[in-house]
Amino acid sequence: MTDIIADSLTRIRNAAQRRLDNTTLIYSKTIEATVSILVEKGYVESYNIIEDGKKKFIGVVLKYDNNGHSVINEIKKISKPGRRVYQGSNDIKRFKNGYGTLVVSTSQGVLPNDEAFKRGIGGEVICSVW
């Protein structure tokens, strides 16, 4: 597997389409930071770190509305191994008129687009969620 971030986003997308309560992701610091942003923004209920011997996993509890529909309408990987996408601080101000979130990998860590804009830094756009 070459892109574990794309794999993690696909696991979340597939679990939400099947209306599963939770899913398990491969552990990475970047994935943990991305999932923590999804929790902070209200797209995911919660997450925890699962240690199985020497391996680590991230258990993600998905969030649904009152009608049973997933809170995540779309989750998409933007920057890919074959084509990296970078944006400056002025370009990441808003996504979907404030209804969506871009997850940006910056020199100060993995941040949501509004926090990166406040700090005045840009970086590699990992994914978009709305």
Q: How confident is the model at residue 95 (pLDDT cuts 50, 70, 90)?
A: confident
The token pair at 104 is 């940006």
**Residue 92 above 90 pLDDT?**
no
Q: How far apart are CA 27 and CA 49, in angstroms?
A: 8
**Greater pLDDT, 98 or 33:** 33
* Cβ neighbours of 92 (radius 10 Å): 22
d(CA 74, CA 106): 23
Q: Using an 8 Å Cβ cutoff, are 103 and 112 in contact?
A: yes
What is the structure's pLDDT at 118? 94
Cα separations in angstroms, 111 against 33, 87, 103: 8, 13, 6
Which pTM does this prediction carry? 0.92
What tokens were used for 41? 């923004």
pLDDT mean over 112-119: 94
Q: pLDDT-derived band of residue 5, with 50, 70 and 90 as boundaries? A: very high
Locus of tokens 């969620």 = 129
Report pLDDT for 9.
96
Cβ pair 96, 75 in contact under 8 A: no
In this prediction, residues 47-75 reach a mean pLDDT of 94
What tens digit of pLDDT does each residue of 9-41 get?
999 999 999 999 999 999 999 999 999 999 999
Question: What is the C-alpha R_g of the chain?
Answer: 14
Report pLDDT for 96: 79
Q: Give the single-character DSSP code of 98.
A: G
